[in-house]
């Protein structure tokens, strides 16, 4: 790999490491063990041979994931590598039940996918507001000896031990939830569009990989209607194989209802660039091609009518398209109409 590319990758990695947008954490979770049941026999001054009165043990604490719609990143879990819930207390005499171990609730943003860290099998996806999921169930409390008395064994001197809790390494991945996801090469004008039609303030500059994390903005439509747009970091050819930073962010596209492909008008071959982007999505996840798509030819303030007509002839016929310029503020209302039509189809 060329030295310049190595330095570039190091810069990207260090910049993302310093970012507050954390969309991936690996964490060890362990629920509490259940408390043991009591094998106590009732004894009193005038009751020398009382029956069994051992209480049950308490349940071990759960590890619970809960969706908090006010969160949009996993940064609060970045340095919390180990989470252990409290064990349940043992049962006691006089049928006293042991105290349940305290549950630990980990709040996560909407759109989190939970995976087993060893097998990478998806355990659950948390997408609904206030949704809860017990990631590690606390061990059950053991029964006291009162449960085991019978006609033939009226004074059992044994009780049940508490059940073990669950533990393991888990991966939490955040997939941004948005109505429209912007898909394009670096410097296709995605951030500029987001800034032009929403109140978002993404970083904009004339070099590749300006956007290192997804940005969200609300697009106002007619009659107080609106939809959420996500600026996904630029994708380059080979992103599905890990080139550039595309692999890290391709998963965010999975949760968008409509994909807005953006290709700059000054590209040598607009149709070829569109096919490259389409191929990267297909290689990553073929199901992405089922989503509705809209194509925006950006930076049209840089071309004349003759060049525009030339591009028009080569555009794919199976996707609605629009020519826009975020700088000149042209074609933006038409773009909103196409996106709204795709969202409400």
* pLDDT of residue 131 exceeding 70: yes
Mean pLDDT of 331-344: 93
Q: Which of 126, 127, 123 is nearest to 136 (CA)?
A: 123
Residue 86: pLDDT band with limits 50, 70, 90:
very high
What is the rounded distance in angstroms from the CA atom of residue 161 to the CA atom of residue 156? 14
Residue 75: pLDDT band with limits 50, 70, 90:
confident
Percent of the chain beyond pLDDT 70?
Answer: 84
Residue 148: pLDDT band with limits 50, 70, 90:
very high
Count of positions (residues) in the chain: 345
Least confident of 1-10, 25-34, 69-78, 108-117: 1-10
What is the rounded distance in angstroms from the CA atom of residue 141 to the CA atom of residue 145? 13
Residue 32: pLDDT band with limits 50, 70, 90:
very high
CATH architecture for segment(s) 22-174: Distorted Sandwich (2.70)
Q: Residue 323 has which token pair?
A: 């020519």
Longest distance between any two alpha carbons in the chain, whole Å: 108
Q: How far apart are the first and last CA of the chain?
A: 46
Mean pLDDT of 97-115: 95
Q: Where are the domains of the chain?
A: 22-174, 178-343
Q: Residue 190 has which token pair?
A: 């995605």
Fold held by 178-343: Rossmann fold (3.40.50)
- Please state, as a whole number, how many other Cβ atoms lie within 10 Å of the Cβ of residue 153: 12
Residue that is written with structure tokens 């043990």 in the block: 57
Residue 253: pLDDT band with limits 50, 70, 90:
confident
* pLDDT of residue 5 exceeding 70: no
* pLDDT of residue 119 exceeding 70: yes
Residue that is written with structure tokens 């809960």 in the block: 66
Q: Which of 163, 195, 199 is nearest to 182 (CA)?
A: 195
What is the rounded distance in angstroms from the CA atom of residue 335 to the CA atom of residue 331? 6
- Please state, as a whole number, how many other Cβ atoms lie within 10 Å of the Cβ of residue 49: 9
Indicate the burial class of 109 (C-beta count within 10 angstroms; 0-12, 13-18, 19 or more). buried
Range list of H helices, the chain: 3-18, 190-197, 246-253, 270-284, 305-314, 332-343
* pLDDT of residue 209 exceeding 90: no
What is the rounded distance in angstroms from the CA atom of residue 286 to the CA atom of residue 279? 9
Q: For 278-329, write each residue's pLDDT tens digit.
A: 988 888 888 888 999 999 999 999 999 999 999 999 998 889 999 999 989 9
Please give the pLDDT value at position 200: 58
Mean pLDDT of 189-210: 65
The dihedrals phi and psi of 247, each to the nearest 5 degrees, come to: -60, -35
């Amino acid at each position: 790999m060329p030295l310049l590319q190595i330095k570039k990758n190091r810069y990207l990695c260090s910049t993302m490491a310093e970012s507050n947008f954390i969309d991936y954490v690996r964490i060890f979770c362990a629920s509490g063990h259940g408390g043991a049941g009591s094998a106590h026999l009732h004894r009193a001054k005038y009751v020398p041979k009382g029956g069994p009165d051992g209480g049950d043990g308490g349940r071990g604490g759960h590890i619970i994931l809960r969706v908090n719609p006010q969160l949009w990143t996993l940064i609060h879990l970045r340095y919390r590598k180990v989470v252990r819930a409290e064990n349940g207390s043992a049962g006691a005499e006089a049928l006293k039940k042991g105290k349940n171990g305290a549950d630990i609730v980990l709040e996560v943003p909407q759109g989190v996918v939970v995976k087993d860290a060893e097998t990478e099998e998806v355990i659950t996806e948390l997408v609904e507001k206030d949704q809860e999921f017990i990631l590690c169930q606390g061990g059950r409390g053991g029964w006291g000896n009162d449960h085991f008395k019978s006609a033939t064994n009226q004074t059992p001197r044994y009780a049940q031990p508490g059940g073990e809790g669950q533990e393991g390494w888990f991966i939490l991945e955040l997939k941004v939830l948005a109505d429209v996801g912007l898909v394009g090469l670096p410097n296709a004008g995605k951030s500029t569009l987001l800034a032009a039609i929403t109140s978002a303030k993404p970083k904009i500059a004339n070099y590749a990989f300006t956007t290192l994390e997804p940005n969200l903005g609300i697009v106002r439509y007619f009659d107080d209607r609106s939809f959420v747009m996500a600026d996904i970091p630029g994708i380059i050819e080979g992103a599905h194989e890990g080139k550039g930073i595309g692999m890290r962010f391709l998963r965010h596209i999975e949760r968008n209802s409509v994909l807005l492909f953006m290709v700059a008008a000054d590209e040598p071959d607009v149709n070829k660039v569109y096919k490259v982007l389409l191929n990267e999505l297909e290689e990553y996840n073929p199901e992405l091609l089922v989503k509705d798509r809209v194509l925006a030819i950006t930076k049209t303030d840089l071309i004349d009518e003759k060049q525009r007509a030339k591009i028009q002839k080569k555009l794919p016929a199976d996707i609605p398209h629009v020519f826009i310029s975020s700088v000149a503020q042209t074609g933006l209302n038409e773009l909103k109409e196409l996106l709204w039509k795709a969202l409400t189809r």
